[in-house]
């Protein structure tokens, strides 16, 4: 039954001294709860053949779909493999917010659509992707017990593509952090280094894909939340152009147009094929992304030509970039040059074109107002006032602080974004693509950026950690994190490429060229 959803509330058992005492007490309890649920979940795999774990993990989603079409494996067998992998690794990383095994089995038994991903297991982020009758916790005590009344448009398109939706992935409270940890759901750990973050807010999705639970997972991005966890976990993460993938039927813009939906994937072709399956306006949309003729999957097979690529080493006010992140950009530039692309350092010119203080302040206002609105909507449904235990300390501060903002300030923020988009378009008359660090530091240790600290600590952490990802949200253009570099210790470091507005095609072509030149699919974390 759709409503029969098993729930994981995992948390760390290491390094917890970084968080508040209350966090520790509640997290310790959640880990016991998660372990019990994992050991005793009600799903029983049917008799019959099973695909070996290594065989399942080595294929991307397009590859698994081919196996199903060729009748080399059944959707039941793939689902069994996904569930077995979940049970094996999730206690170590806490990537899963809840399971939907019964619903997944029912979808197979009813008969899957003959879509591009028919039979492929898929994970849904526990925020921004409404599923009819399924819990959506948003990483928050306040939203515990919430159920959606209808599928969102993109979820309906996932189903039409034949994907088997079997679990939901962890998020920080209401998706406002570039890390994934909360007192409600615990700490989501990076499979490459469990002392470090998997990123956020799509950290559960990235950790699960990196750990081999599924070949791809849904993700959303309002300031880097696809690209940040992709970088942390050695995955490919494409943030689409604004309005490329619809937010309907109940919403049009998210975070005032800053936030978009797509996925984190192991392969470039998976990302392109999934965008083909989900992109396109729905009736009633106020605007849509520029039309793309043909398919994005076709673009992956095409050569990118000789691109003019601007190197931007950092964005204001952040000056410090970790040596490994600097090296990742320099190495990516060298690789691009070896592939025939024109490279030019444009850091100073780029930074002169934008008033970053205004942009970052506008981002904060927009997010805080959207946060407060969502909380007030939830309280209206519950028919009560906000309680002290409902929200994390920083979330509560943000909610209260947002009351001061006016409609005029929100309109000012939109104007500031539009001016930035004009400046970006002018800059990109000279360059096809922009290369930057995805992150300015290594994935942070747990507790460094969290909602149990102070708002000032969170703000400072954001500026140090992610100075370069928010630009694409302000301007609406596509951007991707590509896992081209690893530290000597084996920690992945992504680099970011920004394309022109509406031009995911150029990024997909470049990404596939880089994937062939420096393959990353075999770089997997040592976790079992």
Full DSSP string of 381-450: HHTS---GGGS-HHHHHHHHHGGG--HHHHHHHHHHHHHHHHHHHHHTTT-SEEEEES-SSSPPBTTSS-
pLDDT of 68 above 70: yes
Q: Which residues are tagged catalytic?
A: 125, 201, 225
pLDDT band with cut points at 50, 70 and 90 for residue 49? low
* pTM for the whole structure: 0.92
Overall average pLDDT of the 304-316 stretch = 98
Domain residue spans of the chain = 6-517
Q: Report the pLDDT value the prediction gives residue 41, as an integer from 0 to 100.
A: 33
Q: Report the pLDDT value the prediction gives residue 7, as an integer from 0 to 100.
A: 58
Distance CA 344, CA 449 (A): 34
Q: Which residues pair with 254 in a beta bridge?
A: 259
**Is 29 or 516 the better-scoring residue by pLDDT?**
516
Distance CA 330, CA 433 (A): 15
Candidates 3.40.50.1820, 3.60.15.10, 1.10.240.10, 3.90.1300.10; correct CATH number of 6-517? Answer: 3.90.1300.10
**Range with the poorest average pLDDT among 25-39, 44-58, 322-336:** 25-39
Tokens of 388: 């002290």
Residues 477-502 pLDDT 10s: 999 999 999 999 999 999 999 999 99
pLDDT of 372 above 80: yes
Q: Report the pLDDT value the prediction gives residue 453, as an integer from 0 to 100.
A: 83
Overall average pLDDT of the 254-266 stretch = 97
Share above pLDDT 70 across residues of the chain, in percent, rounded to a whole number: 91
Is residue 483 classed exposed, middle or buried when 0-12, 13-18 and 19+ CB atoms within 10 A define those classes?
buried
């Amino acid at each position: 039954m759709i409503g029969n959803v098993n729930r994981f509330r995992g948390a760390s058992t290491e390094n917890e001294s970084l968080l508040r005492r209350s966090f520790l007490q509640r997290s310790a309890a959640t880990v016991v709860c998660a372990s019990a649920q994992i050991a005793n979940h009600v799903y029983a795999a049917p008799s019959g053949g099973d695909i070996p774990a290594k065989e399942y993990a080595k294929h991307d989603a397009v590859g698994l779909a081919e196996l199903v079409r060729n009748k080399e494996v059944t959707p039941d067998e793939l689902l069994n493999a996904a569930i077995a992998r979940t049970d094996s690794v999730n206690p170590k990383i806490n990537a899963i917010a809840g399971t939907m095994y019964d619903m997944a089995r029912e979808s197979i038994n009813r008969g899957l659509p003959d879509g591009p991903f028919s039979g492929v297991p898929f994970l849904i982020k526990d925020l921004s992707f409404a599923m009819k009758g399924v819990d959506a916790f948003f990483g928050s005590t306040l939203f515990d017990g919430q159920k959606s009344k209808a599928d969102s448009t993109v979820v309906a398109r996932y189903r039409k593509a034949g994907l088997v939706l079997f679990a939901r992935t962890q998020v920080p409270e209401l998706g406002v952090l570039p890390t994934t940890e909360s007192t409600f759901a615990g700490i989501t750990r990076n499979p490459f280094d469990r002392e470090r973050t998997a990123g956020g807010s799509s950290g559960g999705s990235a950790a699960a894909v990196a750990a081999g639970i599924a070949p791809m997972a849904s993700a959303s991005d309002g300031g880097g939340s696809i690209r940040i966890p992709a970088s942390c976990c050695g995955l490919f993460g494409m943030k689409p152009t604004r309005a490329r993938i619809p937010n309907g039927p109940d919403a049009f813009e998210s975070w005032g147009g800053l936030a978009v939906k797509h996925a984190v994937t192991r392969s470039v072709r998976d990302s392109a094929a999934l965008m083909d399956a989900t992109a396109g306006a729905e009736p009633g949309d106020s605007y849509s992304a520029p039309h793309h003729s043909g398919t994005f999957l076709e673009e992956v097979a095409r050569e990118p030509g000789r691109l003019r690529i601007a190197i931007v080493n950092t964005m204001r006010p952040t000056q410090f970039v970790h040596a490994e992140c600097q090296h990742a950009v320099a190495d990516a530039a060298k690789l691009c040059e070896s592939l025939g692309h024109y490279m030019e350092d444009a850091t100073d010119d780029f930074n002169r074109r934008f008033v970053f203080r205004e942009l970052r302040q506008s981002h904060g206002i927009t997010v805080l107002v959207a946060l407060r609105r969502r909380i007030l909507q939830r309280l209206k449904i519950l028919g009560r006032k906000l309680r002290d235990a409902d929200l994390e300390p920083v979330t509560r501060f943000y909610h209260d602080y947002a009351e001061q903002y006016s409609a005029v300030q929100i309109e000012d923020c939109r104007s500031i974004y539009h001016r930035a988009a004009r400046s970006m378009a002018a800059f990109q008359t000279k360059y096809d693509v922009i290369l930057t660090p995805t992150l300015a530091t290594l994935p942070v240790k747990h507790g460094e950026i969290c909602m149990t600290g102070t708002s000032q600590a969170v703000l400072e952490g954001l500026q140090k950690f992610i100075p370069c990802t928010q630009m694409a949200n302000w301007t609406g253009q596509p951007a991707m994190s590509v896992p081209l570099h690893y530290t000597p210790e084996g920690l992945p470091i992504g680099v970011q490429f920004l394309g022109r507005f509406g031009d995911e095609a150029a990024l997909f072509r470049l990404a596939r060229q880089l994937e062939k030149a420096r393959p990353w699919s075999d770089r997997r974390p040592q976790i079992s």
